[in-house]
Amino acid sequence: MLPTIFYIGLSALLFVIGVCGVLLRRSTLMVFMSIELMLNSANLALVTFANQRQSLDAQIMVFFVITIAAAEVAVGLALLVMIFMRKQTTNIDTMTTLKG
């Protein structure tokens, strides 16, 4: 068993990669995947802490996150399909209709 700090470091790394993906990628699909990455980095952190404290509370939280992430993907992909049908592209920068 590695020390906790490694797992947390990995989690932080994954999270930063996710954030960068959300902020920098133009493809909406990639943005989605980056969001999934961030969620899973949070899951990893939760599992790690649960393991360290020998408590199941945080692990239960992980199941919730996974479930909600699945629902979110379902909705998000449906939206993505509709956007593609409308605009023939998934470039997130073209979706600026809320511009003030």
Partner 1 sequence: MTQISWLIALIPAFPLAGFLLNVFLVRGERANGTVASLSIVAAFITTVIAVINLAGMAAESRYIAITLWDWLAVGRVTVSFGLWFDPLTAVMALLITGVGALIHIYSITYMHGDSRPGRYFAYMNLFVFAMLILVMSDNLFLLFLGWEGVGLCSFLLIGHWFDRKHVAPGIVPSEAAAKAFVANRVGDAGLLLAMMAIVSHFGTLSFFGSDGISGFVSKLTDASFTTISLGAFGSVGLVSGIAFLMILGVVGKSAQLPLFVWLPDAMAGPTPVSALIHAATMVTAGVYLIVRTHAVFDLAPDASGWVVIIGATTALIGATAAVTQFDIKRVLAYSTISQLGFMIAAAGMGAYTAAIFHLLTHGLFKALLFLGSGAIIHGMHDIQDMRRMGGLRKHMPVIFLVYIVGALALSGIFPLAGFWSKDEIITHAWYSAQNINVTVILLLSSLLTAFYMGRQVALTFAGDVRDKDAHPHEDLGTMKWPLYILAVASVLGGLMNLPGVHWLNDWLNPVLHQEAELFTLSMGIFAAVTVLLATASGYLGYRMYSGAVGARIKPGDEDPAHYYLGDIWKGFEMGWGLDYVYQRIFVKPYRTLSTFLHDVFDQQAIDGILVEGSAGMVGRFSQAVARIQNGNVRTYALVFLIGVVVLVGYVVIGA
**Amino acid occupying residue 90:** T
Work out how close the CB of 64 gets to partner 1 at its nearest, in angstroms, rounded to a whole number: 21
Work out how close the CB of 10 gets to partner 1 at its nearest, in angstroms, rounded to a whole number: 20
C-alpha–C-alpha distance, residues 30 and 38, integer Å:
12
18-57 residues near partner 1, rule: CB under 8 A:
19, 22-24, 31
Closest CA to 80 of 16, 15, 24, 35: 35
Name which position in 33, 61, 83, 92 contacts partner 1 (CB under 8 A).
92
Tokens for 84, please give them.
């593609």
Positions in the binding site for partner 1 (CB under 8 A): 19, 22-24, 31, 92-93, 95-100
